[in-house]
Structure 1
Amino acid sequence: MDNRTTNEKASSLRWKILRRALLSRSSPPHPDEQSQMITKSISRRTGHGFNLILSHVIADSSSSTRDARVCYTLPIPGAPQLFLTQRVDNRADLSDFEICNRYNIDNTGLVCNWPSEDVLAHYCLSHADIFRSKKVIELGSGYGLAGFAIAAATEASEVVISDGNPQVVDYTQRNIEANSGAFGNTVVKSMTLHWNQEDTSNIADSFDIIIASDCTFFKDFHRDLARIVKHLLSKAGSSEAIFLSPKRGNSLDLFLEVAKENSLHFSVMENYDEEVWKRHKGFLNEDRDSWPSYDKGHSYPLLIRITL
């Protein structure tokens, strides 16, 4: 963080973000301009992203709803547009945290469409041929942009978009129904999938490709994530998992250690796409002001490919 702006610790500033989110709309805080700039610079939540999949809101939230329909234009000639209902409200509800505690999950999938998901969708569309006639599952999907993009533009045989948060899965199912005409012959399903669930017999050894973005941040979930990847990968043929994850301190390295302990093989690439790399370099240099909180370790996703 820029010491010319503030000497406050990042942890203190993030508590301010939480306080602002929890305050009701009827009595919002009135931070000064400098405070707003400081908070924006430290927040890991971003409205910017890599902007690789063009999107725009076509229905703003009103006083009676927290949601908006977002139109995504896929960068493939002839591909249909996708219309995904997502939350646009910056306020947190205590009920969200109650559900997180009940299911031992995190709430990040509801917050926004995270930058790594945008990069994952772009990467998958840039390599559409590898998904043709394949069975695909997205883990920890959030709003599932990558899964929806694969379903709409790659001729995959089946795409399962999964998350452990039942609220997220509800959005996914509604969005599947709303975009049913965009998938051609591809079968698209939503699924509530907890990485630590004991019985995976109905889906074990059944997918050709697993995709996931930014799923290695929470260290408590590493062993469950490695376990579910191993169970889901098909033992027949050349199945693999494709992860896009920032380093996030040592969290990615620790996950890879756990993956190795589970006899999973992996490769890690930093420069895997010309356009993604170009934008990454821009955010670090000449385009710095457009994404003030951009940090390589927290924002730039590495490509991890995992096999049995």
Structure 2
Amino acid sequence: MEASATTNKASSLRWALLRRALLGRPASDPDERSKEGDKHISRKAARGFDLIPCQAIETGNSREACLCYTLPTAPSPKLFLHQRADNGVDLNDFEICNRHDIDNTGLVCRWPSEEVLAYYCLLQADMFRSKKVIELGSGYGLAGLVIGMVTEAPEVVISDGNPQVVDYIQHNINANLAAFGGTKVKSMLLHWNQEAASDISDSFDVIVASDCTFFKEFHKGLVQTVKFLLRKEGRSEAIFLSPRRGDSLDKFLVEVKESGLHYSIDEIYDSKVWRRHEDFINGNDSWPNYEKDHCYPLLVRVHL
């Protein structure tokens, strides 16, 4: 009974969050819950792992935010990431999601796994040398942009199934064009549940994705997309960084196995990421709604 009451309370609070976002009510509204309570029940990422230094840049646009990342590689290049401002929900988002059979999580925020994936790619830059790369379900495109800036990949495609998100990806590519050197970086609208264009079949050496295994209804389409895109010759692979999120990741891996693909899974793949995780778990650093199941991404490598 106590567990049920707790669950109902959390659900009610999340509905209050949605109501406030839709109505544009300020958090100070006496009829609404406090911001402090929001931090504990919201599934929206309150913060990240702080692996890549960044600071907010003034845009002069109340609907848009810009972050400037300083990549920890010589000569410390700057990466500019434009995203939607964190101040509400546009009802048009839901109409577009229904029309395209997609979700809007790429617009909500930068999820913790995105930063971890970008950081992992920074450390494993040699993995992408002379490789054709695609990022799936990229959100604002942080990892793909990092790969384009610091590796010697000849081509990087940054994709998402949401056309609004793809517009942001292209905006971010344009904002960082001078930093890509000889790497060709482009955006692509790619829906996992629809047949992909034949000209990209069997053409990618490396696929990367973060937090893309949450929605179980997209598992089959995601796995088939990976199988369709991976180059059949050579050592091609897909790299996923995803939290378990209940049984979502496990069910995704069942789908991977049933498709004939192979995978490995690693929990401690980087000492710095693991130390940050332990700090949050032990209360040495503050992340009010941090849960390992929901926030800590596991490394999954999938190959033919």
Q: Smaller-chain TM-score range?
A: over 0.9
Quick one: structure 1 residues 32 and 286, their matched pair in 2 at CA, closer, same or farther if it must change by over 3 Å? farther
Mapped to 1, the partners of 2:192 and 2:260 lie a distance apart of 18
Mapped to 2, the partners of 1:16 and 1:248 lie a distance apart of 23
Query: In the alignment, which residue of structure 1 is the partner of 2:219?
Result: 222
Query: In the alignment, which residue of structure 1 is the partner of 2:47?
Result: 48
Aligned partner of 1:291 among 254, 262, 287: 287
**1:128 Cα shift?**
0.6
- Larger displacement relative to structure 2 (185-194 or 49-58): 49-58
Quick one: structure 1 residues 285 and 142, their matched pair in 2 at CA, closer, same or farther if it must change by over 3 Å? same
Q: What per-residue deviation string (whole Å, max 9, x for no partner) do you get for residues 50-92 of structure 1?
A: 0111111111554xx4102210111112142111111123200
Is the CA contact (8 Å cut-off) linking 2:49 and 2:276 kept in structure 1? yes
Query: In the alignment, which residue of structure 1 is the partner of 2:16?
Result: 16
- For 1:302, the aligned partner's letter is L
Quick one: structure 1 residues 213 and 199, their matched pair in 2 at CA, closer, same or farther if it must change by over 3 Å? closer
| TM-score, normalization by structure 1 | 0.93
Query: In the alignment, which residue of structure 1 is the partner of 2:187?
Result: 190
Mapped to 2, the partners of 1:293 and 1:286 lie a distance apart of 11
Is the CA contact (8 Å cut-off) linking 1:61 and 1:88 kept in structure 2? no
- Larger displacement relative to structure 2 (136-145 or 85-94): 85-94
Quick one: structure 1 residues 135 and 79, their matched pair in 2 at CA, closer, same or farther if it must change by over 3 Å? farther
**1:254 Cα shift?**
0.3
State the SS of the aligned residue for 1:41: helix
- Unpaired segments ≥5 residues, structure 1: none
Mapped to 2, the partners of 1:75 and 1:33 lie a distance apart of 41
Mapped to 2, the partners of 1:192 and 1:29 lie a distance apart of 39
| Percent identity between the two aligned chains | 64
Q: Superposed, which structure 2 residues align to 1:14-163 within 5 Å? A: 14-24=14-24, 30-31=29-30, 35-60=34-59, 62=61, 65-163=62-160
Quick one: structure 1 residues 134 and 95, their matched pair in 2 at CA, closer, same or farther if it must change by over 3 Å? same
Is the CA contact (8 Å cut-off) linking 2:238 and 2:303 kept in structure 1? yes
Is the CA contact (8 Å cut-off) linking 2:244 and 2:294 kept in structure 1? yes
Query: In the alignment, which residue of structure 1 is the partner of 2:204?
Result: 207
State the SS of the aligned residue for 1:142: coil
- For 1:291, the aligned partner's letter is W
State the SS of the aligned residue for 1:21: helix
2:169 counterpart of 1:172: yes
Mapped to 1, the partners of 2:60 and 2:29 lie a distance apart of 22
Mapped to 2, the partners of 1:305 and 1:268 lie a distance apart of 7
Give the aligned CA root-mean-square deviation in angstroms. Answer: 1.9
State the SS of the aligned residue for 2:269: coil
Mapped to 2, the partners of 1:285 and 1:86 lie a distance apart of 32
Query: In the alignment, which residue of structure 2 is the partner of 1:237?
Result: 234
- Larger displacement relative to structure 2 (291-300 or 199-208): 199-208
Q: What per-residue deviation string (whole Å, max 9, x for no partner) do you get for residues 200-251 of structure 1?
A: 3110100000000000000000000000000001001000000000000000
Q: What per-residue deviation string (whole Å, max 9, x for no partner) do you get for residues 160-197 of structure 1?
A: 00000000100111111121100000000000000112
| TM-score, normalization by structure 2 | 0.94
Is the CA contact (8 Å cut-off) linking 2:51 and 2:119 kept in structure 1? yes
Is the CA contact (8 Å cut-off) linking 1:20 and 1:29 kept in structure 2? no
State the SS of the aligned residue for 1:169: helix
Mapped to 1, the partners of 2:33 and 2:99 lie a distance apart of 38
Mapped to 1, the partners of 2:109 and 2:35 lie a distance apart of 20
- Unpaired segments ≥5 residues, structure 2: none
Count residues in correspondence: 301
**1:126 Cα shift?**
0.7
